[in-house]
Structure 1
């Protein structure tokens, strides 16, 4: 089933762009999206290589959240980047994407308290002993969250080192760079938020202390692979996975200023809204490339609201626009948006916690245009 759209006017979204030393074919980015299609050992297989190669026409692909170490695993069948087999699996993916003309970063995601011993084999680590408040998917089905182990200074330092090692592994696997996930209630965001960071040492309490761990992770990653290969994802005011921010307006200007001193290639803001003062403040404080990820349903995208929101974000100072679910159902989303072609309807029952090609690699692309007579 497809969803009919109007033919759009010319849009800056389809113009070529630069990201550091990379030439991008358009300003449209495929956002990282968890799909649970890796092996039980976190190794990407041919299923994932096919999926990402199908979507190589995106200006940039940011691959799904991938764990930098075993304890950071969130759900079953989440990919990792900390074993030789995982590196080799991702190399098959990046080879396929590169052969199709694509550019690709890998998101590094540590779940922190968003994890379960039944999945990872480890008690999760977190800034404080605050249990995840919802059931978590495990290989045996949904399970209540467990109280995480509080990260000692040694755990903090070793986790920072694991992020740096994962970044080196990603470059070895053929990625153009990595995105450090400091959003959506995962470990780095847990250090930022007051309800999940109850520490009274140098890693908690004041804003300056709470931003310290994310900044040190980004610094270590930038030193490992070069700042031009590094991006950072943030989600100001996005209270998901049990995280609650009460000082967003103070927290993010301080975080962005500290990250700017490290100098990563881009900042990726979730749920960007050009009408919100914080978006303008972040844009003014951030000297590098800004990727804006609007809050957008598949239905809005099909009705061309996505193009309108994307244009407004570019006008408000964004350099690139990241879309998520539209790329899931449409391997050739950029071409469909550019030409006004109808979009495939999304099948949400196949989004997460299922395996196989159905609802993953079987969305049709547009038929190629006939050759001229």
Structure 2
């Protein structure tokens, strides 16, 4: 197959969607497919892209050029990773080219339409309608956790494939921990929505009692994270945590950092399928996360980690941290179960589902009207209404 994968933020930083897109492109190429990896230029992908994958930098000022290039590439599938309303703009450019379009929603549905998607009307109902408009024209949709597909009406749901990301196995050459100090690992904490302030507040309350523990926060390197870093540094100073909180930056091989760590903590209020929890599981490290956080609360169980009360964040997190930081035997037991649970998320199993999704999507290329007929069979009125809405949308967008 000829696959055009598009992740607009690929050159912005080392986030979860960017890693999934890069590694997916590499695996599909390894399986014999021709792969293009597209992103918004300028710049270069934050993650290393293997040789043989064609990189495509989209010039957002040249929509016609983008459309013409796609027609010349003539992929069997255009696949878009998205987290916000930029999808609407992209779909307006590619949805009428006669090429099957498939998409991945990179977060949980509630977070997407309530927070991330800024509709023109400014209301969640508008975001839901725009989301359905695009989804109704896509031959396949990938959701990052089972159950998320229920957020779509039935006529769309039949084309949703919901499966989690894989758990990244440890890199070869396991590292031995050096010295007596212990580590809490946090991934992406310099993004404001990761709620690092709660972790800093809780850690500060235990820093004296657990004087042999340090907090390592990975990520950063963008203007947004650099701005937030100033606020974080002020909190660290106010809590007298200088030297106890470390910021190594964005790391290419994060596996080695997990191998040096004893405990993983995620304080995000909302996630899709948090790769950091899966990574910690694969490295035999227990995770602490919020019971209120979609995605996180679907992976962390009482047998492999601890969920703290999201309605009483700091005090509940202090209790969870204290329990695990002061009990090495419990950490080991939970970590062993986490490692066993990670076998449910093996890469090969996930990539087989990805390849099947692409194959299903590509089968529409010679019969693009098939999608509409499938939808009419489920909900004729709604399918016809959304077809008319898409035609009007393309007309107003001046799309090909």
TM value normalised by structure 2:
0.30
Q: Which has the higher contact order (CA 8 A, sep 6+)?
A: 1
TM value normalised by structure 1:
0.31
